[in-house]
Amino acid sequence: MTTRADLRSELRNRLHDAGAAIWEDEELNGYIEQAVKSLYPHWYLFETGTETAGPGPVQSLPIGLSGDIAKNLHYVGLRKPTSTRVRTIRGWQEGNGQVMVPKVDDAVEGFILVFAWTIPHRAPDDDVTDLTIPANAEEVVVLRSQVTALERVLADRVKSAKYFAVQVREGVSEQDIAVTLDALHASIDSRMKDAPGPPERVG
């Protein structure tokens, strides 16, 4: 499995900063964290939860394992408290922390509402925990982190001076960085076509 340390090492290699002369670990960690967060909603994890239905039609949403209220639902179902069979609800509408279930008031009260939604991959906060993102998304994370790092070179005089001092033998110019950024963006766009995208709504 891949860790933040693995991604940072690959990123530093692509930036030709093996000696950490330009970027500190914390800087690259921040770029990687931003890139992982940016994967959502194209790459995601599934989560499910239940709530006991009230009189309705507006119903509360469950709180997920992350501690956040469910959002970006793609399924709402209903089952009797004494049954294991879940029936798909049609015509539900997600709101701000709530969902509207188009049923007569007393038709669902006391029943179990079953929800399915997506959540983002967790951004890494240490160097040893395995990341949950798939391999093709890892490449997008590295590419986006590289874009952010190079954009900082163009925007930050101190960073620019350090970068060009390291690259002096290769004679890298700002124009070269601009060309590289265009190529990186094109590569990202190409890989985003392989992203699963949000799941289809049911009901």
Per-residue pLDDT of the chain (203 residues; tens, 9 = 90+): 899 999 999 999 999 888 888 999 999 999 999 999 999 999 999 999 999 999 878 999 999 988 889 999 999 999 998 999 999 999 999 998 899 998 755 678 899 999 999 999 999 999 999 999 999 999 999 999 999 999 999 998 888 888 888 876 567 888 999 999 999 999 999 999 999 999 999 98
Q: At what angle do helices 135-155 and 174-192 cross, to 10 degrees?
A: 150
Query: Residue 46: left (phi > 0), alpha (psi -120 to 50), or beta?
Result: beta
pLDDT of the residue at 138: 97
100 close to 90: Cβ distance less than 8 angstroms: no
Q: Name the residue among 57, 71, 61 with its Cα closest to residue 100.
A: 57
Closest CA to 11 of 30, 167, 178, 1: 30
pLDDT recorded at residue 106 = 65
Give residue 117's pLDDT.
97
Strand partners of residue 76: 115
Give the list of residues 6+ apart from residue 155 with CB closer than 8 angstroms, or none. Answer: none
- Helical spans, DSSP H, in the chain: 4-14, 25-37, 105-108, 135-155, 157-166, 174-192
Position 104 scores a pLDDT of 58
Predicted local confidence at residue 166, as pLDDT = 80
* pLDDT the model gives residue 169: 59
Is there a contact between 55 and 103 (Cβ–Cβ < 8 Å)? no
Longest dimension (CA), the chain: 77
